[in-house]
Structure 1
Amino acid sequence: MPRKKATAESNDSKSQRTRARILDAAAHTLSVKGYSGTRLTDVAEYAELQAPAIYYYFKSREDLIEEVMFCGISDMRRHLQAELKAQPDDLSPMDRIMVAVESHLRHELELSDYARASIRNARQVPQQLQARQKKEAAAYNRIWRGLINDAVDSGDIRDDLDATMAQALILGALNWTAEWWDPRFSSVDAMVANAQTFVRHGLSPLPQAAKRRAGSPSRN
Structure 2
Amino acid sequence: MAKTSRSPVLATADSRKDLDKKSARTRVRILDAAARVLSTKGYGGLRLSDVAEVAELQAPAIYYYFPSREDLIEEVMWVGLADMRAHLVAELDKAPDDSTAMDCILIAVEAHLRHELEISDYTTAAIRNSGQVPDKIRERQQVEEKKYGAIWRGLVVRAAEEGQLREDLDLYVAQMLIMGTVNWAAEWWQPGRVAMDRVVANAQSFIRHALAPTD
Establish whether TM, by shorter chain, passes 0.5.
yes
Identity over the aligned pairs, expressed in percent? 59
For 1:41, give the aligned amino acid: S
2:137 equivalent to 1:129 = yes
Residue aligning to 1:211: none
Q: How many angstroms does 1:88 deviate by?
A: 1.6
Where does 1:41-80 land on structure 2 (aligned, <5 Å)? Answer: 41-80=49-88
| Structure 2 equivalent of residue 217 of structure 1 | none
One-letter code aligned to 1:179: E
Counterpart of 1:171, as a letter, is: M
Q: Which has the higher helix share?
A: 1
State the partner residue of 1:20: 28
3-state secondary structure, aligned to 1:130: helix
Matched, 1:110 2:111: no
The corresponding residue for 2:90 is 82
Larger of the two Rg values belongs to structure: 1
Structure 2 regions of 5+ residues with no counterpart? 1-12
2:18 maps to 1:10: yes
Aligned match of 2:167 in 159, 169, 189? Answer: 159
For 1:38 and 1:91, locate their aligned partners in 2 and report how far apart those are by CA, in whole Å.
43
Distance across 2 between alignment mates of 1:183 and 1:61: 29
How far, CA to CA, are the matches of 1:180 and 1:118 in structure 2?
16
Q: CA deviation at 1:6?
A: 8.4
Give every structure 1 segment of 4 or more consecutive aligned residues whose post-TM-superposition deviation is greater than 3 Å. Answer: 5-8
**TM-score (norm: length of structure 2):** 0.92
Give the counterpart letter for 1:39 in structure 2.
R
Distance 1:8 1:72, change over 3 A: closer
Give the distance between the partners of 1:155 and 1:12, measured in 2 at CA: 55
| Number of residue-to-residue matches in the alignment | 203
Matching residue of 1:179: 187
Note the residue ranges of structure 1 that are not aligned, 5 or more in a row.
208-220
SS at match of 2:17: helix
Between 1 and 2, higher relative CO (CA 8 Å, sep ≥ 6) is seen in 2
Query: In 2, distance between residues paired with 1:182 and 1:70?
Result: 24
Offset at residue 48 of structure 1 (A): 0.4
> What is the SS of the residue equivalent to 2:213?
coil
* TM-superposition CA deviations, 1:159-213 (whole Å, max 9, x none): 1111110110110011011001112210111100000000111101011xxxxxx
Q: Does 1:94 align with 2:102?
A: yes
